[in-house]
Structure 1
């Protein structure tokens, strides 16, 4: 569970991991161009994705990208349902 994930959107990068309950834990966000920190959270206060959206609503598109990466990269393909077209 200690694998670190990186999601990029619109010049920003979110660094996150999965916590012990398999939930997203946002560690920090920085600008890709110069590594300027946008926000950094203490290890005992990593927000989940819902909390991150509440605390930093202006980063909604980045949070959407994190959610997308979680569902497409982190959750194994065999656990996802096939698209409806595949059952025809």
Structure 2
């Protein structure tokens, strides 16, 4: 089952690997991003995705997807998004009668972003870029 988490201008698609109790990341979208779409392999190398939507990052190849700690290392400025994913993971595997996480963006007054847009994907992580 795929899960969808949005925090600020970013959305991540992820799944729970049962048995391993791990979070595997499928994709990341920066809704205001201008960076060309690309696929990030498990070794950190990057392959351009021709005609892909700007701001889209796909992860892994085949059935191989990075886990949350790996993606957190590649995109450390998106810590709020990764914390929200982790909280939603715990809500899925051990639900409470209320959500575990309410991000700072959820309580921001109209027009204020309180830094919720921090961590642009325009600043790519260090990686080798490949074209296909």
Q: TM-score scaled to structure 2, two decimals?
A: 0.49
Q: 3-state SS of the aligned residue for 1:61?
A: helix
What residue in structure 2 maps to residue 81 of structure 1? none
Of 55-64 and 40-49, deviating more is 40-49
Correspondence for 2:71: 52
Instruction: Please show how residues 1-88 of structure 1 align to structure 2 within 5 Å.
Output: 3-20=1-18, 21-32=20-31, 36-42=54-60, 43-72=62-91, 74-77=92-95
Q: What is the DSSP-based 3-state SS (H/G/I as helix, E as strand, rest coil) of the residue aligned with 1:47?
A: coil
Q: Higher relative contact order at CA 8 Å, sep ≥6: structure 1 or structure 2?
A: 2
CA positional deviation for 1:8 = 0.7
Is the partner of 1:77 in helix, strand or coil?
coil
Q: CA deviation at 1:44?
A: 4.1
Task: State the 1:12 CA deviation.
Answer: 1.1
SS at match of 2:11: strand
Cα distance in structure 2, aligned partners of 1:49 and 1:30: 15
Aligned residue pairs: how many? 75
Q: How far off its partner does 1:33 sit? A: 6.3
C-alpha RMSD of the superposition: 2.2
Q: Distance in 2 between matches of 1:56 and 1:39?
A: 11
CA-CA distance at 1:19 after TM superposition:
2.1
